[in-house]
Amino acid sequence: MNKDFRDTIIFLSPLLLFVSLFMLFPVLGTFWLSLWRDVAFLPRKFVGLANYLRLFKDTQFWQSMIFTLIFSLISVAIEMVLGIIVALVINERFHLRGAIRGISLLPWAIPAIIGARIWQLIYRYDYGLANYLLGSVSGVSINWLGTSGGAMFSLILADVWRTTPFVAIIILAGLQSVPEELYKQARVDGANLFQRFVKVTLPSIKPVVIVALLFRTIDALRVFDIIYVITGGGPGGATTSLSLHSYKYFLLGDFGYGSTISFVLFIIAFALALLYIRLGRFREIAL
Amino acid sequence: MNEEQIKKLLLAVGIVFIVVFFLFPFGWMVIVSFSASPDFLIKGNLSFTLSNYKDILSIRSLHFLNYLKNSLIISGIAALSSALIGALAAYAISRFKFAGKMLIVLGVLALSMFPQISIVGYLYKFMTRLRLINTYSALIFPYIAYSLPLALWILLSYFSRIPLEIDRAAQVDGASRLQILRKVILPIALPGFVSAVLLLFMFSFNEFLFALMLTTDFRARTVPVGIALFQGLHGEIPWGYIMSASVVSTIPVILIALLAQRYIIQGLTGGAVKE
């Protein structure tokens, strides 16, 4: 028993060391930094909660907050619907299913930056594919990235493309755990294809859908990569997410205020993570 | 139309949607990478060329091969280390009884949802103090930590399905816990370990924000940062270079995704998707 105790400590300590040093400690450090005036070329000074008060006057912060929430809400909603559809397709038995499953992974498997670069080129006003296709049908050109609505739409589409695969895989696992008998019984009761989906499939995959929903929401709230490339936060700050807003202060050398913004984002994400853990079914696996 | 036919029709529509929507941007990437100028849609001057590929592979000031080498080394080391550290922890959690087990598992899980931006500011200061900015270590250590929750989650779901009797039998033969993990558990859970390493590799290979903040030039910069910051010699965005570099750097990930889709899907779902 004593030996087991010693082994427990030895086996767990590398993990605990790494996550403490490079995740837990930095988050606490971020909170600590947010209490300071820590700007390049100025002496450091402890300012308490002054940086948090500054948030109230920072109109870009509120614009970023609203953008981040709207972006997350719409893109996650679309991803859930498409993810369920894709999962239903790749759950069926058909020729070359393996290949289709592989294809369904691709947008998510490649670096987000590369996907973003491709979409950036597609959205280009002058020689982008989107306007070319639109122009040959209707003769209209849209300034995809030049207006705030267009930029929002463009970012959501790029995000939906990239993360629907992830949602689909998580929901596929849920679909496979639906007992075949439920479908048989529903057939006996005379339920048609659509009724079986609504009455059997949807209730059965609800827990998995909630897990995917929360996980994706937390992930969407920290969106950075695709915005950095596709719009750079523009036009005029309209698509500057909270992550990007914070990053811009780091870039200016203002670590105090940059940390303040990112700590607010952390609090939001952490609250959702607690909810996720409460709803998730991790207990069975862990014990 | 009867129900079977409707189902087949819907399935066909779904497959076409998946192929077209998911693949057409890749097709566009490939076409632009082989074309002499990216504005062929309006100028109609589409012509096939290999020069983009030749340039990114041979012009040293573009540093693409440096980025690729950095990415492969950093992600490779981070993925293997994280899988090994995760295996040790998953073994302890699935085998030993101790107080605070749930707290560790759930705590690590919560860590995986920390926004990178709320870590990277302090990490930048930390790495600066250690004089590690723009080195492989500046990325490898945070990548190991950031991917450990995923490693633990995957390996735990595999390990906890292996009966404890197997450990006891090996213990009777006088094996230490480390030997049991290495010679008994890991071989049994090999598919899980492979899934973990592949997913962890992709995870680090694709990461952007840490790499953007913690590196400054070609000596440690990774592919995503290189591609995001690619500047043409004359200021214009060099689409040909960007797309050919993208094609070259996505080949390893695409191969992994297509050849090992079964392992990746199993890993992501804790083995819930069987085939």
In chain B, what residues touch A213 (CB-CB under 8 Å)? none
- Looking at residue A141, what is its pLDDT? 86
Report CB contact under 8 Å: B14, A115: no
Count of A-B CB contacts under 8 Å: 304
Is residue A171 within 8 Å of B269, Cβ to Cβ? no
Q: Do B122 and A27 touch (CB under 8 A)?
A: yes
- Judged by CB atoms closer than 8 Å, whether chains meet at A115 and B86 is answered as no
Cα gap A123→A129, rounded to integer Å: 7
Residues of A in contact with B105 (CB under 8 A): 282, 286
Q: Which two tokens stand for residue B245?
A: 């570099």
- The 3 state secondary structure assigned to A238-249 is CCCCHHHHHHHH
Nearest CA-CA partner of A240 in A118, A152, A123, A154:
A152
List, as ranges, residues 81-140 from B with C-beta within 8 Å of A: 85-86, 88-89, 91-93, 96-98, 101-102, 104-106, 108-111, 113-126
Chain A residue closest to B263 (CA)?
Answer: A102
pLDDT at A281: 55
pLDDT value at residue B232: 61
- pLDDT (tens, 9 = 90+) of chain A, 287 residues, equals 578 889 999 999 999 999 999 999 999 999 999 999 999 888 999 999 999 999 999 999 999 999 999 999 999 999 999 999 999 999 999 989 989 999 999 999 999 999 999 999 999 988 889 988 988 888 888 899 999 999 999 999 999 999 999 999 999 988 988 888 888 898 888 888 889 999 899 988 988 888 889 889 999 999 999 999 999 998 999 999 999 999 999 999 999 999 999 999 999 999 988 887 777 655 444 33
Task: Quote the minimal CA–CA distance from A256 to chain B in Å.
Answer: 9
State whether residue B194 sits within 8 Å of chain A by CB.
no
Mutating which of A19, A205, A244 best tests the B interface, going by the most B Cβ atoms within 10 A?
Answer: A19
Chain B interface, best mutation among A22, A228, A265, by max B CB count within 10 A: A22
Q: For each of the domains in chain A, give its residue range(s) and CATH number, in order of start.
A: 58-286 (1.10.3720.10)
| SS3 state at B48 | strand
Residue spans of the domains in chain B: they are: 61-268
Cα of B44 to nearest chain A Cα, Å: 11
CB count, 10 Å around CB of A85? 17
Q: How far is A166 from chain B (nearest CA, A)?
A: 9
- Kindly determine whether residue A109 and residue B254, on different chains, have CB atoms separated by under 8 Å: yes
Asked if B254's CB is within 8 angstroms of A114's CB, the reply is no
**Cross-chain CB nearest to B121 (options A173, A242, A259):** A259
Across chain B, mean pLDDT equals 91
Strand A36-37 and strand A45-46: pairing? antiparallel
Chain B residue numbers touching A16 (CB-CB < 8 A): 104
| DSSP 3-state of A46 | strand
Structure confidence by residue, pLDDT tens digits, B158-208: 998 999 999 989 989 888 999 999 999 999 999 889 989 999 999 999 999
- For domain B61-268, give the fold: MetI-like fold (1.10.3720)
Answer yes or no: do B208 and A89 touch at CB < 8 A: no
Q: Return all residues near A75 (Cβ < 8 A) that are at least 6 apart.
A: A155, A156, A159, A160, A163, A220
- Closest to B245 measured CA to CA, from B261, B234, B232: B232
The verdict on a CB contact (< 8 Å) between A265 and B117 is yes
Complex confidence, ipTM: 0.92
Number of alpha carbons in the 13 Å side-chain half-sphere of residue B204: 34
Q: Which residues pair with B35 in a beta bridge?
A: B48
Min Cα–Cα distance to chain A from B122, Å: 5
In this structure, are residues B228 and B156 in contact, taking their beta carbons and an 8 Å threshold? no
Chain A residue with Cα closest to B108: A19
DSSP bridge pairs for A45: A37
Interface residue B158 vs chain A (CB under 8 A): no
Cis peptide bond prior to B149, omega within 30° of 0: no
Residues of A in contact with B43 (CB under 8 A): 127
Q: Are B124 and B212 in contact (CB under 8 A)?
A: no
CA of A32, closest CA in chain B: separation in Å?
Answer: 9
User: Who's near A264: CB < 8 A, 6+ residues apart?
Assistant: A55, A242
Contact A113 B104 (CB under 8 A): no
